[in-house]
Amino acid sequence: MSLLVLRFAALFYAGAVTAYVLHFARPRHAALATVGQWLLGFAFVVQAIAIGLGCKEYGGAEFFGLRGGLVFMTWLAAGASLVVQRLYRIPAIGAFVTPLILVVLLPTLFLVKPDFPEVLPEAVRRPMLTIHIVTALLGVALFAIASLVAVMYLLQEREVKGKRFGALFSRLPSLAALDQLNQRLVRFGFVVYTVALLTGSGMAKVVWKSAWQWDPQQVSSLVIWMLYGVMVQLRHTGWHGRRFALLTIVAFGLVVGSMVTLNVLPEGMTRHGGDFSGERK
């Protein structure tokens, strides 16, 4: 049932992608952006219903698998992008974010084989774990949006600096707006990710009796956290524009890389692979 509703949500996402991309191609039709935003909003609501139904069906165990994680992350990304558009009114962002959401969501519509433990161990059933999962996924979703904004920045910078003034020049927002949005997303994402890291080590302490275990997931999470922390600091020492945008993209590349690697590694190598929170990110 939840899968059916999820597929329904995907249809709305596809509609939002279409509207936003058409608006990007033909900016004169301002109504298209509004349509895109409404469709994205509908998709968000429908997906929320799908997630709720999923929780009922699997008792929350779904989010310990890659598929459940991706579903939840796309939902958070959609929500974050709705908020960003509400605050900044840059419809061009929709043309970049919604396609990514759809692409990430697509495999989850057909991968129905359960990839999560059927029964969750009693030890991990704690509110702290819920907070951990939500913040970790939200952090990654924010970093993803930030990296897309950085891509937009680099595209626009190429137009402005390369003196091309072509189609992208008029369609993309100003460099200052993109730079500022990128910075805020990184900063906010960093705060959220910090909460995820703290709750994560809290859980480790509960389950493994020790907050730090040199677990590959722990190590990569810490590296990523430090990288974003450094970025937040660099901002104060004059890292603006191009360099900051490049760094945002590299950092998110690392996030994706670690997610892929950790999911490909044989079971035994990730200490807490199926142990408590599976593939969180």
Using CB under 8 A as the criterion, which residues of the chain lie in contact with another protein when the complex forms?
28, 156, 159-161, 163, 165, 169-170, 173-177, 237-243
Which lies closer to another protein via its Cβ, residue 126 or residue 240?
A: 240
By beta-carbon proximity to another protein, the closer residue of 28 and 209 is 28
Nearest distance from C-beta of residue 96 to another protein, angstroms: 17
The answer to whether the beta carbons of residues 43 and 152 sit under 8 Å apart is: no
Quote the least distance from Cβ 181 to another protein, whole Å.
11
Nearest to another protein of 31, 112 (CB atom): 31
Nearer to another protein, 179 or 279 (CB): 179
Sign of torsion over alpha carbons 268, 107, 249, 76: negative
- Rounded-to-integer distance, Cα 269 and Cα 143, Å: 26
Q: How far is the CB of 222 from another protein (least distance, A)?
A: 28
What is d(CA 61, CA 114) in angstroms, rounded to the nearest whole number? 10
Round to whole Å and give the CA distance between 236 and 248. 15
| Distance in Å, CB of 19 to another protein, minimum | 20
Fill in the amino acid letter for 90: I
Q: Which two tokens stand for residue 2?
A: 């939840």
End-to-end alpha-carbon separation of the chain, Å? Answer: 25
Indicate the residue among 26 and 56 with the shorter CB distance to another protein.
26
Nearest CA to 196 among 69, 67, 41? 69
Task: Please report, as a single letter, which amino acid is at residue 125.
Answer: R
Min dist CB 242 to another protein, Å, is 6
The tokens of 75 are what? 């939902």
**How long a stretch of residues is the chain?**
281
Q: Which is nearer to another protein, 125 or 161 (CB)?
A: 161
Residue 170 or 210: which CB sits closer to another protein? Answer: 170
CB of 154 to another protein, least distance (A): 12
CB of 223 to another protein, least distance (A): 26
Q: Report yes or no: 37 and 85 within 8 Å, Cβ to Cβ.
A: yes
Instruction: Please list the alpha-helical segments (H only) found in 162-215.
Output: 167-171, 175-208
**Least CB distance to another protein at residue 92 (A):** 13
CA distances from 198 to 189, 204, 225 (A): 14, 10, 11
Query: Residue 29 region, left (φ>0) first, then alpha (ψ -120 to 50), else beta?
Result: beta
Closer of 153 and 190 to another protein (Cβ): 153
Beta-carbon contacts of residue 133 (< 8 Å; ≥ 6 apart)? 63, 69, 72, 277, 280
